[in-house]
Amino acid sequence: LLSPRGRNALERLVEYDTDGAQQHVYGHWPPPGLHDSDKQRLAEQLADLEESYPGGLPAYLSKAKVLLRESAEGLNPFDEYEAVVPQGESLSYDNEPATSTMAFADAEQAGLDVCGTAVFVLVAGGLGERLGYSGIKLSLETNLCTNKSYLETYVRYIQAMQYTARQRTGNEQLRIPLVIMTSGDTDPLTRQLLEDNKYFGMDIDMVTIVTQDKVAALKDGAAGLALDDKDRWTVETKPHGHGDVHHLLYREGLVDQWQDQGKTHVVFLQDTNALVINSVVPALGVSVTRGFHMNSICIPRLAGEAAGAIARLEHKTDPNKSLVINVEYNQLDPLLRTQGDGKGDVADPETGYSPFPGNANNLIIELTAYGKTLRGEDQGVVLEFVNPKYKDASRTEFKKPTRLECMMQDIPKLFQKEMGAEANIGFTLFDRWFTFSPAKNALDAGQDAVEAGSTAPGTMSSAESDKYIQNQRKLASLGVKVPVTMADDLVVVGGIPVTPGPRIVLGSAFGISQEAYREKIQGEMELTQRSALVMDGHHLTIKSLKVDGALVIRTGKDTFVTVDGLVVTNKGWELQELDPEQNYPEHVAIRGYTMTKHETTEYLLDEPGHFVIDASGNVQKAAE
Ligand code: UGB
């Protein structure tokens, strides 16, 4: 009746099940002739579960039994450790000596030197449940000025980095690959988004998609497989977490391939934090300068915030077991309550932030150490955990099935196992405005958070606003006359405080470094608060520009444009709050407003050659 693989998987389960915890799966089957196709279906699924987990279902269930027992006993995984604030680098774009431990420009140069040997991995298997969005998060528009999606923003950045690396090395063949980790939930729509947009101009063979599998759900403390409520012949499955990424990269042979190609660092990005691209080059520079095998991009952490904290866990008796690692937000407070003044996850009164750096969870991993670690006995399967919701204090029954979970930031434990004390794990702290404003929460959850006093509601709208503020600050630091929105200047739109403007988007082709911006902005530039500005292009130079309204300038890859004397005055663009009486598509509703583009001055120039946009607004051909 069963296929050889189905039969094999079933036999393995029966043989493993010495305590009878899985009896409900294979026992009491109706006689042959009844439910035959259902039995085949179940056996095939068991075979899938068996094959997709290193060591098969027995390995998964054995780990689950141990973790569930420890959880039921209330065992504290940090019992033997004390958390202390670790050492790392702190970089400030404005180079304020008070906060920078290394000159930003030095870190940037060191990063630019190696940017051609970086590879990118985007973890995008998560669903936007918290965001109240049923599509894939990568398809959401980062902002309404350009309407570019998160995926396009990341791809354009990688292309700009490749361009920069080619310029610096003179190697026109140099290419930077991207791996996207999807899950069953996000895979078809991610592929479709890429295909519909011709991979946003990236070479198709440079994009690899790896797909994470779900794992078996567990119904009780004995790790009994949870069968679907409505279908006794299906094992319920659940996501395993972003930690899958390491094993998948290993299993698909990508790490070997990259090492053969001479790549040196893997940059891991999350799906909805457009600001992170600012910190990739300087963080790469820190990785190289400090010899970090792993470098977490961090931000000052608000006490109690739903972001992990990077801590040095000092083992109380065995220093060899001490390590620098992320402590997840739900575990930080209980851990800190057991030590020091016992106050838990509270702010340092002097800084107003948690003393522990906040994990933006974008990681840079050095490839030689990574390869060595992944080839170890765990094959990149990071340490898992369980988080069952118990029905009552007896901690025996679950409210709903649970499963093993894993997080990509837990890889330091594997580094330590394979490399011992040689593992060099660090972090780089950047200003929040520069690095971190993810879209994670639904509008109403964000509004509640704001009412409760939060300055980081994590909505689509706060992410968009922070993108504009970041560009205001970047331009201001280069001497551009531009109003910079401070906390008191924010205006409430759709229940979330956002910038009143100017709304500025600088495309990655305009520059991926402070150095590039300095080369491009050579003279006087001025923007009013009600303005919107979009600039993109490798060879766009500003000698003199005034904007009071909306201006878009995009230039092609062989088009050299100098803006010299242009004065833009028009009605510009404006946000419109949504009408509570009306229904809007989901992607509009989660933002809380639309943008009306009343009037725009636009230059889309892609003819090869040299041009000047002059004081009268005309485009003149210029001498080379
Ligand atoms: N993801 C996957 O690719 N697969 C999965 O199975 C799950 C997620 P969330 P979370 O940035 O502030 C993380 O759900 O888990 C992708 C850190 O653990 O957005 O709440 C998913 O698509 C935490 O330490 O994040 O918390 C997305 O790209 C903290 O730093 C990414 O994984 C927090 O992020 C993260 O998934 C943060």
What is the distance between the alpha carbons of residues 108 and 340, in angstroms, rounded to a whole number? 38
Q: Give the model's confidence band at 149: pLDDT under 50 very low, under 70 low, under 90 confident, else very high.
A: very high
Distance set, CA 101 to CA 89, 106, 107, 467, 542 (Å)? 6, 11, 10, 25, 32
Nearest protein Cα to ligand 1, atom 36: 126
pLDDT of residue 96: 62
State the distance from the centre of ligand 1 to the C-alpha of 121, rounded, in angstroms: 14
State pLDDT tens for residues 95-147.
665 567 889 999 999 999 999 999 999 999 998 889 999 999 999 999 999 99
**If you measure from the C-alpha of residue 123 to the centroid of ligand 1, how many angstroms do you get, rounded to a whole number?**
8
* CA dist 33 → 1, 36, 38, 101, 306 (Å): 10, 6, 11, 73, 53
- Arithmetic mean of pLDDT over the chain: 95
Distance in Å, CA 203 to ligand 1 centroid: 27
Grouping H, G, I as helix, E, B as strand and the rest as coil, residue 593 is strand
Structure confidence at residue 129 (pLDDT): 83
Q: Which atom of ligand 1 is nearest to the CA of 308?
A: 24
Residue with CA nearest ligand 1 atom 37: 307
Given a contact cutoff of 8 angstroms between Cβ atoms, the answer to whether 299 and 431 are in contact is: yes
Distance between CA atoms of 427 and 294, rounded to whole angstroms?
8
**Which of 364, 360, 365 lies closest to 298 in space, CA to CA?**
360
Q: What is the pLDDT of residue 98?
A: 59
Closest-lying ligand 1 atom to the alpha carbon of residue 305: 12
* CA 182 to centroid of ligand 1, rounded, Å: 13
Task: Dump pLDDT digits (tens) for 35-50.
Answer: 999 999 999 999 999 9
Say which DSSP state 124 is in: -
| Residue 97 confidence (pLDDT) | 55
Give pLDDT, residue 229: 92
Q: Whose CA is nearest to atom 8 of ligand 1?
A: 126
- pTM for this entry: 0.95
Q: How many A from CA of 207 to the centre of ligand 1? A: 21
Tell me the helix, strand and coil percentages in the chain, rounded to 5.
35, 25, 40
Query: Band of the pLDDT at 521, cuts 50, 70, 90?
Result: very high
pLDDT of residue 159: 98
Most confident of 120-124, 318-322, 397-401: 120-124
Nearest-atom number in ligand 1 for the CA of 124 is 22
Q: Which of 242, 244, 275, 383 to mutate to test the pocket of ligand 1 (most atoms within 8 A of CB)?
A: 242
H/E segment holding residue 400: strand 397-402
pLDDT tens for residues 161-213?
Answer: 999 999 999 999 999 999 999 999 999 999 999 999 999 999 999 999 999 99
Cβ neighbourhood burial of 58 (10 Å; 0-12, 13-18, 19+): middle
- Residues with Cβ within 6 A of ligand 1? 123-126, 181, 183, 239, 241-242, 270-271, 307-308, 326, 328, 359-361, 407, 438, 440
**Average pLDDT value for residue range 344-355:** 93
Q: What is the token pair recorded at 524?
A: 């006087």
20 Cβ contact partners less than 8 Å away, ≥ 6 residues apart: none
pLDDT-derived band at 494 (thresholds 50, 70, 90) equals very high
ipTM entry: 0.93
Q: What is the DSSP string of 495-512?
A: TEEE--S-EEEE-GGG-S
**From ligand 1's centre to the CA of 408, what distance in Å?**
9
For residue 541, give the nearest of 512, 557, 558, 517 by alpha carbon. 517
Specify the pLDDT at position 106: 95
Query: Closest Cα to atom 26, ligand 1: which residue?
Result: 307
Q: Write the CB contacts of 344 (distance below 8 Å, at least 6 apart in sequence).
A: 333, 334, 336, 337
The predicted-structure confidence for 76-92, as pLDDT tens digits, reads as follows 788 899 999 998 999 99
Q: Phi first, then psi: what are they for 142, rounded to 5°?
A: -65, -30
Give 570-581 pLDDT, tens digit per residue. 999 999 999 999
pLDDT of amino acid 334: 87
Cβ-contact 267, 119 below 8 angstroms: yes
**Predicted pLDDT at 87:** 87
Q: pLDDT band at residue 75, thresholds of 50, 70 and 90?
A: confident
Q: Which residues of 396-412 are buried (b: 16+ CB within 10 A; e: fewer)?
A: eebeebbbbbbbbbbbb
The residue whose CA has the least distance to atom 33 of ligand 1 is 307
How crowded is residue 581: how many other Cβ atoms within 10 Å of its Cβ?
5
CB 519, CB 535: distance < 8 Å:
no
Q: How far apart are CA 234 and CA 496, in angstroms?
A: 43
Task: Give CA separation, 612 vs 200, 377, 454, 537, 540, in Å.
Answer: 28, 61, 46, 14, 10
3-class secondary structure, 90:
strand
What is the C-alpha to C-alpha distance for residues 473 and 527, in angstroms, rounded to an integer?
12
Give, using CA atoms, the residue closest to atom 21 of ligand 1: 126
Is residue 412 within a helix (H) or strand (E), and if so which, with residue range?
A: helix 412-419
